[in-house]
Amino acid sequence: MDQVRTVLRRTQAVLHRVELVWCVIGLLSCTSLVFVQVVNRWLIRYSLMGIGDLALYVFIGFMLIAAAYTTWNEGHISVDFFRDKMVAGRPSAAAWHKVAMVLLAIVACISIFPVTYAFMVAAIRYPQFGTLVSWFNISWLQEVEFVMLLLVLLHLVVIARRDIANAIHQQQARGKG
């Protein structure tokens, strides 16, 4: 069992690094494309056909990958004011609240899973091509969206497992104290 956990931890670490590398590549690519577009449009007075579309596609793909990376780091945007007021000074309640929020996020991901899956299957069956660059297949965005949803769901399940163990530990520590 320890070998399986070790393999899973290593796999998660590799996956996390791959997500980070893709986020960096996406951010640099998107920034570079927009920079080139602005320089061409304003300084050279010549707009490269399709570079705006390409920058948009790279940005969308980058943001989808960033969603999975941010989920793993638990860096999502949240409003903590209500949580802090509801569970202030009660570590056990705060731990269970965290579990409830992760489980709610898992339910939300699962609820949109069928739609995202159908969206991906349609993209594979019926490829769509860019408007200005007719050879550029933009269906990959729909496929990436589904893969990123799977990664977000995987990350949430791992976080939920950890948070449930922490909440149980908090509960037991409160019972002993």
Tens-digit pLDDT profile for residues 70-79 = 887 776 555 5
Q: Which amino acid is at 57?
A: Y
User: Which residue is it, tokens 């300084």?
Assistant: 43
**pLDDT value at residue 26:** 87
Q: For 112-149, how does the pLDDT look when each residue is reduced to its tens digit (9 = 90+)?
A: 999 999 999 999 999 888 776 677 777 888 888 899 99
- Rounded to two decimals, the pTM is 0.70
**pLDDT value at residue 16:** 86
User: Residue 162 CA to chain centroid, in angstroms?
Assistant: 19
- Residue 102 — very low, low, confident or very high, per pLDDT cuts 50/70/90? very high
Q: For 46-68, how does the pLDDT look when each residue is reduced to its tens digit (9 = 90+)?
A: 777 778 778 888 888 888 888 88
**pLDDT value at residue 53:** 78
Query: How many Cβ atoms from other residues are within 10 Å of residue 119's Cβ?
Result: 17
- Name the DSSP class of 89: T
Q: What range defines the domain where residue 116 resides?
A: 2-176
Q: Which amino acid is at 177?
A: G
Into how many domains does the chain fold?
1
Report the pLDDT averaged over residues 88-110: 89
Of the candidates 110, 99, 123, 120, the one whose C-alpha atom is nearest the C-alpha of residue 154 is: 110
Percent of the chain surpassing pLDDT 70: 92
